[in-house]
Amino acid sequence: MNGPSPKEGALTKSLMEELRRQNTFEDEETIKNREVVLGRMVALVKNFVFAVSKSRGMSDVVARASGGKIFTFGSYRLGVHGPSDDIDCLLVVPKHVSRDDFFATFLPMLQEAQGVTQVTGVPEAYVPIIKSKISGVEVDFLCARLRLSSIPDDLELADDNLLKTLDERCVRSLGGPRATDEILRLVPNVEVFRDALRCIKLWARRRAIYSKVMGFFGGVAWAMLVARICQLYPNQAAGAIVSRFFTIMHQWKWPQPVLLKPIGDGPLGVKVWNPKLYPKDRLHRMPIITPAYPCTSGKVESKLHQLVLKLEFVESLKLAHPYVKGIERVAHCINDEEVSEVAFNRISDAIINRTQEEAAKESGYRTVSTTAFYIGLAISPKQRGAVGPQKLDITYPTNEFKRICKQWELFDPSVMDLHVTHIKNAQLPNWVFEGGVRPEPKASKRTKPTKTSPTSQSSDLSDMMQRLSLTGSSAPVAAVTPKSTPKPRRARARANTT
């Protein structure tokens, strides 16, 4: 197959310049900071395994030889992370270290580590996780225990036999690094793949459709879609891959699955994606199958996604579209009235500008941590001939959402609460927008899409680059705000929405 034409090469160069202008690459200082953080975590994991091994009665020599290793995965491992992206890490530990040790021993060790400012453990998650912030970098930790007495530094995870006798949570935790490494192995040109994926990620984020837990494609799914186009056009430059991506994905015959390689069997008696055998798999409308065994579609049913699905059945709603990220804030309140206001996501400038040191001097000091999720609601136009005001009743879906969240076994009503409020676009606080600045409304006309072919892609790429150069924020109009009603001093808690 022929390589890129001179025109496509020039467009690829322009595309890369635009991606740099959009700040999708890290500078040297940020890169070095991430490397330093990871270096500390590598040492911390070995100390963690050593401490647990000693508690099991092992000698210093045997405990130190037990090892322990960190594997990165996701956008960082793929080489497409940006300045604000997190690092996904998997801790691989020997058989005498348990998941309970991960939360009971590693978590407090992490809290005391240099540069750590936030640590939150979620042991009951589908894939148990510890979320943290270290020297300004968000780092998520998973843990998998192998049936090995020690974990050497040169361990690789490609061997399917490593999965034998592991529990389901360990198999799921290992799935991230194994899938990421397999994607990189299956693309014909890694650099072209990375450049094209950076562009697609930016496009998806600008359109608020980049979130696995919200029911959209997550990072791995977008990566596999781009990887498939790279396989179909192995000699093309990034610009041509991006342009062909939109053409082919627009014409894809869903629910035909996207596969990077044939689905194979492995050493475990576990379920792999197979719509011929499993009725639930036949319900997947846009299946994208992970390339590492056991092959799955990676579908996630979060509580927020379930709320969105229920809202779409409300009679007077045309569309419910969630904003893909929760907005976390910490408010230093000095009385019960301020706590109540923060609980409903009404945070005044006085609270925003108050420091913890200033608030701590007051007798009614509380620290309240909140996470706000926004769902945009498009209301159906009023029917011709309809009399009276149009009604919007979302009581049932929102009450069901709150009921499900409060059934979480760790939900503590003494320090947690959950509110769903309906607000108009004009009432959104400025701090939900990028940089805290509300964008000016823009009037734009949508052009009717035209059918294109892979042989005429240059104008498509130019149009896409122009769209990418537009900065703006989606404007959600409904807020879902878990809040903490804390005890005296500090209590950090939130409703579990995943």
Task: For 349-366, write each residue's pLDDT tens digit.
Answer: 899 899 999 999 999 899
Name the most confidently modeled range: 31-35, 261-265, 476-480. 31-35
Determine which one of 5, 54, 86, 340 is catalytic: 86
Q: For residues 301-315, give the mean pLDDT.
A: 88
Span 131-168, pLDDT tens digits: 999 999 999 999 999 999 999 999 999 999 999 989 99
Determine which one of 101, 140, 181, 281 is catalytic: 140
Per the prediction, the chain carries an average pLDDT of 86
Q: For residues 34-56, give the mean pLDDT.
A: 97
Mapped to the 3 state alphabet, what secondary structure does the chain carry?
CCCCCHHHHHHHHHHHHHHHHCCCCCCHHHHHHHHHHHHHHHHHHHHHHHHHHHHCCCCHHHHHHCECEEEEEHHHHHCCCCCCCCEEEEEEECCCCCHHHHHHHHHHHHHCCCCEEEEEEECCCCCCEEEEEECCEEEEEEEEECCCCCECCCCCCCCHHHHCCCCHHHHHHHHHHHHHHHHHHHCCCHHHHHHHHHHHHHHHHHCCCECCCCCCECHHHHHHHHHHHHHHCCCCCHHHHHHHHHHHHHHCCCCCCECCCCCCCCCCCCCCCCCCCCHHHHCCCCCECCCCCCCCCCCCCCHHHHHHHHHCCCCCEEEEEECCCCEEEEEEECCHHHHHHHHCCCCCHHHHHCCHHHHCCCCCCEEEEEEEEEEEEEECCCCCCCCCCCCCCCHHHHHHHHHHHHCCCCCCCCCCEEEEEECCHHHCCHHHCHHHCCCCCCCCCCCCCCCCCCCCCHHHHHHHHHHHCCCCCCCCCEEEEEECCCCCEECCCCCCCC
Determine which one of 85, 150, 181, 201 is catalytic: 201
Q: For residues 23-32, give the mean pLDDT.
A: 95
How high is the pLDDT of residue 324?
Answer: 86
Q: Which of 175-179, 282-286, 398-402, 467-471 has the lowest mean pLDDT?
A: 467-471
How high is the pLDDT of residue 497?
Answer: 33
| Whether residue 489 has pLDDT greater than 80 | no
**Catalytic residue list contains 88:** yes
**Catalytic residue list contains 86:** yes
How high is the pLDDT of residue 61?
Answer: 97
**Catalytic residue list contains 167:** no
**Catalytic residue list contains 75:** yes
